Each structure stands twice: as structure tokens, then as C-alpha cells.
Amino acid sequence: MTRYFLIPILALLLVACDSKSSSNSSTTQSSGGVKKKLVVGFSQVGAESGWRTANTQSIQSEAAKRGIELVFSDAQGLPENQMKALRTFLSRKVDFIAFSPKVKTGWTPVLREIKAAGIPVILTDRGIDSPEDLYATFIGSDFVEEGRRAANWLVTNTDGKATIAELQGSVGADPAIDRKKGFEEVISVHPNMKIIKSQSGDFTRSGGKQVMEAFLKSPEASQITALYAHNDDMALGAIQAIEEAGRNPGKDLLIVSIDGVRGAFEAMAQGKLNCTVECNPLLGPQLYDTVEAISAGKSVPKRILTQEGVFTQQQAAAELPKRQY
Ligand code: GYE
């Protein structure tokens, strides 16, 4: 436990301390010595989930609060739109480029162009497989650990015996790959825990519902005792499908998902979802702390982790009024 929390706390402190001197000055020195507003280009994945909506809101409101000029671009789920947005930011000569990459691969050529132009790149939320020297830092969660946390909850609450259906996130996305990896790592040492169905629901509610409907129509449907969804939205869609199929979500079919959005807490309070592993979308403050730190010439850690918890039905009612997203 200590290890997981110590690193993020240290990372946060580093950035927090570094950015203090510049926290009221979201400006950069122009060649004439006149201060001008910092301009940040941000390419967002889309609006696929409650998590994403909260993330966008945090990125936008925090920029406004700090007097940073944000050039925001919504890729509507298409990596090629993100690629275009990055090139637009490049030709506009923004001071910083930040983005949440839909998929892990394919970014190296455009990042090389951006590096050649001397614009610092900050990855928020999702990682990529490009060389590390092509970006300043990656701010976001440890998705492998989230997968482990989901699996640990299931192991503990089923005595290590479950026949699992899995709803994966978007194909090729960092959180889909790593949440699967962490979950499988934990269940691999439990011979009576098996994933018998696994498919992508693209991190959307409608995707989760559709794929779960297909799972429940398959010949193995009656064997499924648990659902692991890579995000809450897919779990919420699946809950509808499970109810429509005449089964009891949260009771005869246990459900664990990831994000910790308000809808998940409501479903837990109603007894329909069993556990949500938190993934914090409020990355705006960390993003601009980092922008301001780099702008002030400070060095920042290559990886900035966010701190998160795990919530169950027993905590849902008390937690609900405190949720910010
Ligand atoms: O879990 C999901 C969203 O990248 C962590 O993307 C993010 C994921 C989040 O669509 O709900």
C-alpha cells in the first residue's frame, strides 16, 4: 500500500513545490520582454463517458481560473482527428501541447515534428508507446493497479471462485490494455477464477449494453457469475441488459467496474453494482501546475500519478454527496 501512495504523493509535492513561484503568473516572456498569456493546445479523446465529461470540465475550468488560454479540440473518438489537432497546434505555435491519446500507438512521427519545433508535450490520462524523450511527462492513473484492485475485490468477495464476463475499454487504448493486464495478473493465481467472455464495449454505456446482451444470449450465459467492466459507463449499460434478461445485477451476478463516477455510486446505493475502483478525472490542476512549472524552467518528473481509492456498496450512500463527478 505505502509504495503505491508514496510515489504519487512525492510526485505531486514535487510539481506543487516547483509551480509555487509561478502559480499566479500563467504567462510567458515574449521576445520584447512583454509578458503574454500561456497558450495550451489540448486534444481530447471525445465525450464517451461520465469520466470524460468530468475530465473535460476540469481541463477547461482550471485553465479559465488560471488565466491560461486553452485551445480545446474534441476528436470525437477518432485518433486521426487528434493527429490533425496536434498539427494545428503546431502550426499555431502554441506554448504547450497536451493530449489524452485515444490509442497507444502511432504518435511518434507527429511528436518528432513537435519536438523539432521546441513545443513541450504533456500526456494526460493515457500513455503511449513512443520514446520518452518525445514528451515532458505523463500525468494520470496506474491502470494496471486499477485492474489489480478490481480483481482483488472479486477474489475476496467470491472466495476466489467466479466465472467472469469482461467488458473491455476501447481497443488499443492504454487503460483497456493495462486494466486487463492487472486483473488477469491477480486472477491467474486463482484456479477457480476464469474469464469466459471478453469483448470491447468501447468505454460507452451503449457499447456495454450491447455486448452484455450478446454475452447473455450466448450458450455460456448461465455460467456467468461476475462482470468486470473496464469503466462504470459500460457497467451501467450492462446492468440494463442484465435486468432485461431477467437476472439480478449486484446479487446473482456480481459487478465490479472502474472510474467512480456518480452513476456508479447511485447504482451501488441501489444494490445493482458491487464495487467501483476510483480513477480520478480531475486532472486540470495537475496539468497546469506542470505547464507552469516547465514554463518557469523547473524540471518535472517523467511520470505523475494520481491518488485513488476503492468503493463498495456499504460506502456508497455516505460517499455520494461528496462526489465531485
Ligand atoms: O476510465 C473511461 C474513459 O482514459 C481513464 O476513458 C480514461 C478512461 C476512463 O472513457 O471512462
Amino acid type, 82: Q
Measured N-to-C along each axis, helices 262-269 and 232-244 cross at an angle, to the nearest 10 degrees, of 40
Q: Residue 29: what pLDDT?
A: 59
Q: What is the pLDDT of residue 2?
A: 39
Q: For residue range 72-100, list pLDDT tens digits in order.
A: 999 999 999 999 999 999 999 999 999 99
pLDDT in the model for residue 34: 64
48 Cβ closer than 6 Å to some ligand 1 atom: yes
Which of 157, 181, 158 is CA-nearest to residue 166? 181
Q: What is the DSSP string of 44-111?
A: E--S-SHHHHHHHHHHHHHHHHHTPEEEEEE-TT-HHHHHHHHHHHHHHT-SEEEE--SSSSS-HHHH
Q: Which three cell numbers stand for residue 156?
A: 475476496
Q: Cβ(289) to ligand 1 under 6 A?
A: no
| Alpha-carbon dihedral 213, 218, 220, 222, rounded to 10 degrees | 50
Indicate the angle between helix axes 232-244 and 50-66, nearest 10 degrees.
150
Classified as helix, coil or strand, 238 is helix
Choose which residue among 43, 44, 45, 49 to substitute to test ligand 1 binding: the one with the highest number of ligand atoms within 8 A of its C-beta. 49
Kindly state the cell numbers that stand for 198: 471478453
| CA 270 to ligand 1 centroid distance, Å | 23
Phi, psi dihedral angles at 230 (to 5 degrees): -70, -15
Give the DSSP H/E element, type plus range, for residue 289: helix 284-295
User: CA torsion angle for 10, 12, 18, 19 (degrees, to 10)?
Assistant: -170
| pLDDT the model gives residue 15 | 37
Q: Smallest Cα–Cα separation from 101: which of 137, 71, 75?
A: 75
Rounded Cα gap, residues 146 and 12, in angstroms: 19
Q: Quote the cell numbers at residue 292.
A: 507552469
- pTM for the model stands at 0.90
- Quick one: CA torsion of 325, 249, 222, 158, rounded to 10 degrees? 80
- Per-residue pLDDT of the chain (325 residues), as tens digits, is 334 443 444 444 333 333 333 334 477 655 555 668 999 999 999 999 999 999 999 999 999 999 999 999 999 999 999 999 999 999 999 999 999 999 999 999 999 999 999 999 999 999 999 999 999 999 999 999 999 999 999 999 999 999 999 999 999 999 999 999 999 999 999 999 999 999 999 999 999 999 999 999 999 999 999 999 999 999 999 999 999 999 999 999 999 999 999 999 999 999 999 999 999 999 999 999 999 999 999 999 999 999 899 999 999 999 999 999 9
Any ligand 1 atom below 6 A from CB of 125: yes
Give the C-alpha distances (Å, rounded to integers) separating 46 from 42, 78, 81. Answer: 12, 8, 10
With a 6 A CB cut-off, is 124 part of the ligand 1 pocket? no
Q: For residue 318, report the distance from its CA to the centre of ligand 1, in Å.
A: 24
How far apart, in Å, are the Cα atoms of 207 and each of 23, 87, 233? 41, 31, 9
How high is the pLDDT of residue 26? 72
Give 219's Cβ-side CA count (13 Å radius). Answer: 0
pLDDT of res. 233:
98
Q: Can you give the pLDDT at residue 88?
A: 98
For helices 79-92 and 108-116, angle between their N-to-C axes, nearest 10 degrees: 10
Which pLDDT score is estimated for 39? 98
Ligand 1 probe mutation, 51, 257, 283, most atoms within 8 A of CB: 51
